[in-house]
Amino acid sequence: MSPPKPPASRAPLQSPTRREFLHQGTALGAGLLVATLPFGAHAAMPRTTLASTRSGRIRGTIEDGVHVFRGIPYGADTAPRRFQPARPEVPWQGVREATAYGAVAPQRGAEGPGCENCLFLNVWTPGLRDDAKRPVLVYIHGGGYNTGSCSDPLYDGGNLCRRGDVVVVTVNHRLNAFGYLYLGRLGGPELASSGNVGQLDLVQALQWVRQHAREFGGDPGNVTVFGQSGGGAKIATLMAMPAAAGLFHRAWTMSGQQVTAAGPRAATRRALRFLGALGFGPDDLPTLRTLPAERLLEASAAHDPSWVEDTTLYFGPVLDGTVLQRHPFWPDAPAQSAAVPMVIGNTRDETRALLGGDPANFTLCWDTLPARLEREQYVDLPVDQVIAEYRRLHPHYTPSEVFFAATTAGRSWRGAVEELEARARQAGADVAPTWAYQLDWASPLEPELGAFHTLDIALVFDNTGRAGARSGDGAGARRLAERMSEALLAFARSGNPNHAGIPAWPPYSLAHRETLLFDTETRLAHDPRGGERELWRRAPFVQRGTL
């Protein structure tokens, strides 16, 4: 559906009056307006800036030379269309304030309960309407497919704008049951896309970015999507979705892979489990679409029917035959994205954060290790063989070190290897290269966690000084942040992450498995952890939730 036309009564942007212009100074940039205040009061007033969108004008702020617009709607309230693709946002009259983050999606946990009117994005840009054709970087947040939002301080795009003269966009979208509950086999045609409406929200956001890039000084023909954990998995899924074709031109994923999607039978089984938690059956779908959101969040805590113990229902993209017509990276890399350059990264000790919340995992002995590893390794190999091979490869490892290394390699890292190999096997004149990296650096704030899951977020955003940055803001963290953020910026500009501050970084190949190791001394490695890779390839990799 095409976006609604702006109301006819909406006035174009007006030039500032002479008095307003005098208050601005000479360095406030295009689009800046300063309100008239009593004499002497304007010095303490936050500087503001105006932009036009398809649905009306918005007022943001200027922060250290960067125009910032928060909470811009890119879609309408999803509550009236629960489990269906969203409508465009409703136009407004006058100037809408865009100075605060929009509502987060409904979710359990620290950021919940959220709101179904959650389709908002945020923009940071060095300039407006200046035809600068800056690269546009769109960040998709993590939290799996269940939680998270784009309002975390670590996702602030200001430092990337100042370092690289780019436009940064962050996005909220529907999650958990609201975005990925597959009712296509239980309901009518209007619910055929229900298992992927969270992904369709991202498509709608990328369409908004393409339409508005020039207003915010960006190039609609040079859009990079980047994301961590669940954000990376969502990007991998977008690369196989026909609706997303052509909406982005580079892809950078961090500890987030989506090799296979949920099959329709498995997704339907989870939907029935979800309905059962509410005391409903398939005939109750009309009621399900009008229940209070809190009831749906409670039902999402039902136990998943998969073999994994003590986990709530899995939600993620569904192979529904319409929105998603193939698995994202199986049996091969998607042809529609072959021309999109890609960076696939991971951290060396992913699960020290994911599983480190249980103190018992740090005090395992050889007697207690097998049962704990059996529950968490995901790839189904004989546990005694896994332990024996790790003891051979790393004879100095303690039982807990074997546990964290094996769970990391058998879960997220194995998915990264699968995607890298699939991309490397693609052939043809129009196939773009893929680069691999691994973060080996350990934060001085939490050295016992090593290079843990999420550690690279603050480094890639160059936000080590922000609240919540577990990297700390020491000299080592700042040096690494410079290397990693410059690699992202180089990639956004040219499709190649190489820059003068790092060793030569060749694309990944099956012959050499080139991987850049970001550490105190960043270096290139060939097939790092090759012995572990050979161990885990003994069993096929199937993403959790597929079956």
- CATH number for 430: 3.40.50.1820
The H or E element containing residue 347 is: strand 342-347
Domain count, the chain: 1
Alpha-carbon distance 269 to 351, whole Å?
28
- Determine, yes or no, domain membership for 123: no
- Determine, yes or no, domain membership for 349: yes
* Alpha-carbon dihedral angle through residues 190, 4, 71, 142, given to the nearest 10 degrees: 40
Q: Is the dihedral of CA 404, 407, 412, 415 positive or negative?
A: positive
The whole-number average pLDDT for the span 475-493 is 98
Indicate if the pLDDT at residue 32 is higher than 80: no
Indicate if the pLDDT at residue 13 is higher than 60: no
Statement: the pTM of the whole predicted model exceeds 0.85:
yes
Alpha-carbon distance 37 to 490, whole Å?
43
- pLDDT bucket at 411, cuts 50 / 70 / 90: confident
Indicate if the pLDDT at residue 287 is higher than 80: yes
Q: Are 483 and 489 in contact (CB under 8 A)?
A: no
Indicate if the pLDDT at residue 482 is higher than 90: yes
The whole-number average pLDDT for the span 39-46 is 45
- Determine, yes or no, domain membership for 117: no
- Determine, yes or no, domain membership for 238: no
- Determine, yes or no, domain membership for 212: no
Q: Are 451 and 468 in contact (CB under 8 A)?
A: no
Give the closest residue to 83 by CA, choosing from 345, 240, 275: 275
Alpha-carbon distance 264 to 199, whole Å?
16
Give how far Cα 228 sits from Cα of 233, 395, 500, 528, Å: 8, 32, 25, 21
Alpha-carbon distance 319 to 93, whole Å?
41
User: Which of the pair, 329 or 311, is modelled with greater confidence?
Assistant: 329
- Determine, yes or no, domain membership for 189: no
Indicate if the pLDDT at residue 237 is higher than 80: yes
Alpha-carbon distance 70 to 169, whole Å?
10
Indicate if the pLDDT at residue 155 is higher than 60: yes
Return the structure tokens found at 329: 């990276």
Residue 141's contacts (CB-CB under 8 Å, 6 or more residues apart) are: 148, 149, 150, 152, 155, 170, 171, 172, 227, 228, 230, 231
The whole-number average pLDDT for the span 361-385 is 94
- Determine, yes or no, domain membership for 487: yes
Q: Are 121 and 150 in contact (CB under 8 A)?
A: yes
Question: Which amino acids are annotated catalytic?
Answer: 229, 350, 453
**Which of these ranges, 157-166, 343-352, 408-417, has the smallest mean pLDDT?**
408-417
Indicate if the pLDDT at residue 483 is higher than 50: yes
- Determine, yes or no, domain membership for 400: yes
| Residue 309, pLDDT score | 60
Indicate if the pLDDT at residue 116 is higher than 50: yes
Indicate if the pLDDT at residue 216 is higher than 70: yes
Q: What is the CA 203 to chain-centroid distance, rounded?
A: 13
H helices within 213-318, ranges in order? 230-238, 264-277, 285-288, 293-299
Residue 368's contacts (CB-CB under 8 Å, 6 or more residues apart) are: 360, 399
Relative orientation angle of helices 383-393 and 369-376, to the nearest 10 degrees: 110
List the domain range (segments joined by +) for residue 400. 341-523
Give the closest residue to 88 by CA, choosing from 212, 181, 237, 221: 212
The single-letter DSSP state of residue 107 is: -
Return the structure tokens found at 247: 């909406």
User: Which of the pair, 244 or 12, is modelled with greater confidence?
Assistant: 244
| Residue 37, pLDDT score | 35
| Residue 311, pLDDT score | 84
